[in-house]
Amino acid sequence: MSASSLTHKLAFIARFVVLGLAVAFVVSLFWPGTGPALRARLGWGAAPQAVAPAASTAPPARASATSSGPVSYANAVAKAAPSVVNIYANKLVTEQPTLGGPLGRIFGNIPAGPAFTRREQSLGSGVIVSSSGYVLTNNHVITGAQNIQVLLYDGRVASAKVVGSDTATDLAVLKLDVGDLPAIQIATTKPRVGDVVLAIGNPLGIGQTVTMGIVSAISRQLSSANPEDFIQTDAAINFGNSGGALVNAYGRLVGINTALLGHASGAEGIGFAIPVDTAQRVMREIIATGHVTRSWMGITYADVPVPANSGLPAAAHGVVVTGVYPGGPAAKVGIERGDVLLDVDAHAIVSPAALYRRVSVKKPGSKVKLDGVRNGQPFHYTLTLVTRPTMSQAGARQ
């Protein structure tokens, strides 16, 4: 075969190959399943099996809210927020300019001009606890105020009247006369350590704000001079939150926010609230009489000391008398400094705060029975309580 004839044959075959590839491309483009099916029909290989989908790598569905806790506290906030108000207490403060600089350091506070009066506004929060208009807030928010304005959740502004206040618990009761108001729901069970709580108030005057935390401790005392107990929480409480609501995860009131530790001490996440049962007791008495009356034994007391390195556990109960006021109820029956009180009215005294609370809620004129020991010898006294005097009258707190 000549070279020319071979060349023509190869060119003819190449044209058919190119034409076949073109036809195959068009068929696969418009009928993509044709190729595998044809190969299977001609016995050129089994049709490919469907590939099972790979196991899902998506995370499992979120557990139900009932088993893992709520994913939102919006319902609790919606229930409680309308009962929380912003309080603006306006005060007139008189100031006297004094000589400054080196002369001021030498001669002291010498007046350097006429006294002037300026307006000062104290910011705080409050909680509507009665549809008739009673509002609980902190005493320090409204102390010295000439007038008090309350901003309601719905935007209305109302003037408030002070019904009364109590410095021991830092509570005050205000009255609004603006018709029916949304009273907050009160929790029927006491909070436990670890419970979720929400603090609602007006921090720094920026408007109503909600923060979340847990109950860190209960029955806390802020100082030895104030045996009232408080709820400790790590929910953020800032200036302006004072008097606001501490509510549980269901939007029910468990406390009135009152104080925070931080800034000065360097501590964070330590705030305090007045338990709602204490707040209700104080409020009822203020509404009834305008003030809170507490009974007094005329003594000071502290935990029973246990000598260091004695190997003995802390005293199970009881308090030691650290001071007796002359002419007071305790002095009249013969109680002395150093006596250890073990029981009051047949109830074990578990702490100084517990004794204070048990005695203070009794009415003046009531009698209490005290059991204790002096120099190892038991004693029993019955004394008559009197109204607790102020610090200036008694010289110190009970």
Residue 68 CA to chain centroid, in angstroms?
23
Residues written for the chain = 398
Residue 226, burial from CB neighbour count under 10 angstroms (0-12, 13-18, 19+): middle
Evaluate whether 351 touches 229 at the Cβ level (below 8 Å). no
Region for 37 from its dihedrals, namely left if φ exceeds 0, alpha if ψ lies in -120 to 50, beta otherwise: alpha
Q: How many CA atoms are closer than 13 Å to the CA of 92, on its beta-carbon side?
A: 5
d(CA 335, CA 324): 8
| DSSP state, residue 55 | P
d(CA 340, CA 338): 6
Evaluate whether 301 touches 322 at the Cβ level (below 8 Å). yes
Which residues, in sequence order, are CB contacts of 172 under 8 Å at separation 6+? Answer: 136, 137, 138, 139, 141, 142, 162, 163, 164, 165, 166, 243
d(CA 193, CA 177): 38
Region for 154 from its dihedrals, namely left if φ exceeds 0, alpha if ψ lies in -120 to 50, beta otherwise: alpha
d(CA 358, CA 296): 11
Evaluate whether 317 touches 342 at the Cβ level (below 8 Å). yes
Nearest CA to 365 among 381, 382, 384? 384
* Active site (catalytic) residues: 140, 170, 242
CA-to-CA dists, residue 391 to 138, 188, 285, 319, angstroms = 20, 35, 21, 22
d(CA 375, CA 20): 119
